[in-house]
Structure 1
Amino acid sequence: MSLPVPLLPSSLSFMTPPPGLEPRVDFTLAPIDGAAGLFSLSAADGTARLFVLDAATHLRNYAPQPAAADVERVGTATPTVLVVVNPGAQSTVNLAAPILLNAETGACLQVILEGPQWPLRAPLAGN
């Protein structure tokens, strides 16, 4: 049983460009119909799109420990954590680089976690 999906803002502004998407910082977040907790994250200029998953909704055992300074930069002590989905026959999620989101302001930051605990391509099934 998954948790209720939080209300998230439709406009996101990254504090620094997400890795691989430089120089883009402004994005639109849109829920995917019929897939609670799955969102399309599209660059405001229309040049890039990826899928993200609300970690609290689907990944109960995922408990990243981002640096306190990164959490502080986002402006909330309890950021919403999104993970990038790599769709495919066996979809995976990037647990090594979560997106910390201030659900009130839309400010966000993708962080790189230290250490090997969280893989870049964790299988989505069974989480």
Structure 2
Amino acid sequence: MTTAPTPSATALATICVGGGLVGFPESELYTVVGGDGGVFELAPPDNSGPTFVAAVAGLFFPDYRPVIDDATAQRLDLSDADDALVLAIVTVGSDISAAYGNLFAPVVVNTRTGAAEQVVLSGQDFPLRAPLVAAAAGR
């Protein structure tokens, strides 16, 4: 399944990341905070783990359309690409010019159910560190 460019994320209050984020398997439930300009905080509701910054990948990288394998789409109950929200985990540096989005391992969210999974896109040519500011300037 090829994902849609920019489905809405404003209705999401929490997401459940099956297996957790890469390196953080103990935290699966995240509260979605913010959303202004397509940037969110993903925070464990019980403060049991770190908070992450995530961006709606299609807003910052309009040509980014990762292909999600059938097994992942089935696990997330995704039958329509319009229900898939693709978030890039953002690494924030010392200032905004040093912010990068991870396009190699996005978080794919079913906007109907809140089920999510961080997907490593093997075999697709996407960077682990895509400059967010340069992408935002091109919007």
Q: Which TM-score band applies after superposition, normalised by the shorter structure?
A: 0.7 to 0.9
Deviation at 1:62, TM superposition (A): 0.9
How high is the sequence identity, in percent, across the aligned residues? 28
* Displacement after TM superposition at 1:93 (Å): 0.5
Higher fraction of helix: 2
Work out whether 1:86 is the aligned partner of 2:87.
no
How big is the shift at 1:6? 3.9
Higher RCO by CA contacts (8 Å cutoff, separation 6 or greater): 2
Is 1:99 equivalent to 2:107 in the alignment? yes
Unaligned runs of 5+ in 2: 1-5
Q: Which residue of 1 aligns with 2:63?
A: 61
Instruction: Find the aligned partners of 2:20 and 2:86 in 1 and give their Cα distance.
Output: 17
TM-score, normalised with respect to structure 1: 0.87
Residues 54-106 of structure 1 deviation map (CA, whole Å, 9 limit, x = unaligned): 11222101111121211221112321100100112311010000111011111
Amino acid of the structure 1 residue aligned with 2:88:
V
User: Does the CA-based 8 Å contact 1:5-1:37 persist in structure 2?
Assistant: no
Q: CA deviation at 1:19?
A: 1.1
1:19 and 2:22 are equivalent in the alignment: yes
CA-based RMSD of the aligned residues comes to 1.8
Give the TM-score of the pair, scaled to structure 2.
Answer: 0.80
- Report how many aligned residue pairs link the two structures: 123
